[in-house]
Amino acid sequence: MKRLIPLISPVLIFEKDADWQQVLSEALAGDYDLIFRDDKDAKVAIQSEQFQVILLDLLSASSGVFQLLRWMKLTVPDIPVIITSQSETAELVVKAIKQGAFDFVVKPFSSARIRHVVKQALLDRNFKNEINYLRHEQDVIYNFDHVVAESPNMKAILDTLRKFAQTDTTLLMTGETGTGKSFLSGTIHFNSHRKDRPFIKVNCANIPETLLESELFGHEKGAFTGADKQRVGRFEQAHGGTLFLDEIGEMSMSLQAKLLRVLEEKAFERVGGNRTIRSDVRVIAATNRDLESMIGSGRFREDLYYRINVLSVRLPPLRERPLCVEPLAAALLSKFSRSLGKRIDGFLPDVLASMKERAWPGNIRQLANAIERAAILADSFFITQESLPAAEPLERVRQASASEPVNVSSASPSLAMQEKEAIVKVLEECLWIQKEAAKYLGISPRALNYKINKYAIRHPRWRKHRE
């Protein structure tokens, strides 16, 4: 059996002094493959061999260390260069860093010091490589050309969003749950001039009201019980980038007032603090609620509505874009079959026909859940009717039930009973795990919890219902 030889990172060193060569060898040789070169061979070595880090002594370059440093950063910009020197004048340090050096280490240095700097240089390079990879992947994923839009109404919306992506104006996205608001907000960000800055998502419905303010604006140490350290909020983290506020209709009135100030002044204070913090953030808000009716009932601020509704777009539900069902299903099946490591070539014709006839009240999210389940259960190269979940009775409930609670007194008893039975059925299939049931139904956990309380649904495994 062959012994596996660990990969050792090659480090290129330009150091003329024999004593310092010995110090570097003793400090690094055990963990790195050290290659000592004369500066005359620098260009040949760098262009013909692969190195992870370069150590360049200030006196080891006859033609000038900064001239060599500039050439290195132009030729191999991804390799970190560490400058070593007997001198530590501020002018030298600033010049080295400005011209691209990763760090400036002054002699005499300890073995621990040089090991730490080399290790940090390697970590920095790995992080940059990973970020570049993820950004590349995001650019591919969040690409308007890759969004499934076969229906005319969806094509028109994508054309509008392409234009919206080129501005910094606040945008409001409305539409039923599961229509792709979160995904398209990312598409807008990664096709804007802010694409190299943070893209932060906050779901206002999933965070308790008492913690949402801290989540958005941060808090100072001691601001409340449990605040044992300072916390930077999402607005601060998203500086220069985009903040996506999902389900903004769930935000309390007091928090809406603070959000309005941030949008107008781009300034806020952390909870428990008095220092004003400024942040340049583009806000994209989304909701599946009717904000205008909420204004009428006093549950949403009119001034905030007009502030976030400068640009607006309504995403159509899946039933209004029937031409998108088949290509969406094909794309989702390809994704899930790859992740499962299964070969699934497609859907049988009767399956596609039935999928087009369904209402899909949970929209794309519900379609994705159904296809993932079918891919897991599939025993052949094609998805059969038996692999798909049966059409839920919930589809006969009015489509707004996911966004606005149904008033039992105004709905017929049989309709309310059908909804209750459908919820109980899904809860049973999900082993009474509310989060999974909400995902399956295509509604938020808060909306499901409302319906559970409304219909007095109980189960012993829920802690608050135990005797």
Alpha helices per DSSP H over 190-321: 209-217, 234-237, 253-265, 291-296, 302-308
pLDDT of residue 423: 85
What mean pLDDT value characterizes the chain? 84
Task: Fill in the amino acid letter for 378.
Answer: A
Structure tokens at 406: 């149904």
pLDDT band for 358, please (50, 70, 90 cuts): confident
* pLDDT per position as a tens digit, 93-108: 888 898 889 999 998 9
pLDDT of residue 406: 39
User: What gap in Å lies between CA 347 and CA 387, rounded to an integer?
Assistant: 10
| Percentage of the residues of the chain whose pLDDT score is greater than 70 | 88
Cα within 13 Å of Cα(387), Cβ side: 24
Mean pLDDT of 342-364: 89
pLDDT of residue 465: 47
Structure tokens at 194: 């802010």
User: What gap in Å lies between CA 394 and CA 413, rounded to an integer?
Assistant: 14
Residue 200's SS3 state is: strand
pLDDT of residue 371: 93
φ, ψ dihedrals at 97, nearest 5°: -65, -40
Is residue 318 within 8 Å of residue 154, measured between CB atoms? no
Task: Single out the residue of 96, 90, 94, 88 nearest to residue 72, CA to CA.
Answer: 96
pLDDT band for 60, please (50, 70, 90 cuts): low
Mean pLDDT of 6-31: 84
pLDDT of residue 5: 34
Tokens 């061999």, residue? 49
Which carries the bigger pLDDT value, residue 150 or residue 437?
Answer: 150
Q: Which residues pair with 366 in a beta bridge?
A: none
pLDDT of residue 159: 95
Asked whether the predicted pLDDT for residue 394 surpasses 90, the reply is no
Mean pLDDT of 424-445: 78
Indicate the range of 54-68, 155-169, 184-198, 411-425 predicted with least confidence: 411-425
Residue 348's SS3 state is: coil
Domains (range + CATH), the chain: 9-135 (3.40.50.2300), 148-221+231-316 (3.40.50.300), 318-391 (1.10.8.60), 400-467 (1.10.10)
Report how far apart, in Å, the C-alpha atoms of 135 and of each of 28, 53, 58, 111 are.
33, 24, 36, 36
Asked whether the predicted pLDDT for residue 396 surpasses 50, the reply is no
Indicate the range of 183-197, 382-396, 433-447 predicted with least confidence: 382-396
Task: Single out the residue of 274, 265, 190, 272 nearest to residue 235, CA to CA.
Answer: 265
pLDDT of residue 264: 93
pLDDT band for 464, please (50, 70, 90 cuts): low
| Percentage of the residues of the chain whose pLDDT score is greater than 90 | 40
Tokens 């049931």, residue? 437
Mean pLDDT of 237-254: 93
Which carries the bigger pLDDT value, residue 66 or residue 169?
Answer: 169
Name residues whose C-beta falls within 8 Å of residue 435's C-beta, 6 or more positions apart in sequence.
445
pLDDT band for 6, please (50, 70, 90 cuts): very low
pLDDT band for 330, please (50, 70, 90 cuts): very high
